[in-house]
Amino acid sequence: MLLSYFSFRLRFSSYAQDQFEILLPLACEWAEVKEKVALENGVPLSSAQAEDAKRVGVIHPERVKIFAVPQIPIPRHPILRSAAEETQLITPATDGLTLRYGIFIKSSFLNDRRLIVHELIHTSQYEKLGGFLPFLRKYLMECITIGYPEAPMEQEAIRLSMVICADSKS
């Protein structure tokens, strides 16, 4: 899989803009559809989760819903599926996925505060950047060119969730 990942990055760098411009609208459309699924089927944040959301900068925690699922959804579209697999963004091992206000959490991780805080940080990033298109443009480009989880937006979520969850233990 590692070789496959590097071949994807090499292919991407060869004609990056064309591939990315095909991928981006598909990713936005998929994310918007899946956000609706999470919002229709998920539950609002608990008061403690809403406090965490405010702490990480979520402007509208009342809009966030968490949808517990046995498996995080993987795109069916061949281009999106391939990109998700090649970059390791969404795999069967993925425990959480944020699509603006809709957060998918693998059922077995529903009580994992660090994971939920991590996903709330992505919600905050969506808000700060202005929605699906600007968030996905930046996040996906970072993941494709730098690599997941080394991408700066992902590192911010990893680092801040660890700090916040460590603070509450002391």
Summary mean pLDDT of the chain: 89
| Helices 2-14 and 132-145, packing angle to 10 deg | 110
| Two tokens, residue 150 | 């080394």
> How many CB atoms within 10 Å of residue 24?
16
pLDDT band of 93, cuts 50, 70, 90: very high
| Two tokens, residue 64 | 């966030």
Is pLDDT of 117 > 90? yes
Cα separations in angstroms, 14 against 7, 9, 11, 27, 138? 11, 9, 5, 21, 19
pLDDT tens for 138-148 read 998 898 888 88
Residue 58: left (phi > 0), alpha (psi -120 to 50), or beta? beta
For the segment 42-54, the average pLDDT, to the nearest whole number, is 98
| Helices 78-87 and 2-14, packing angle to 10 deg | 120
pLDDT tens for 130-170 read 999 999 999 988 988 888 889 999 999 999 999 999 976 54
Number of domains forming the structure of the chain: 1
Q: Looking at per-residue confidence, does 13 or 155 come out higher?
A: 155
Give the residue numbers spanning the domain of 19. Answer: 2-167
Global model pTM greater than 0.85: yes
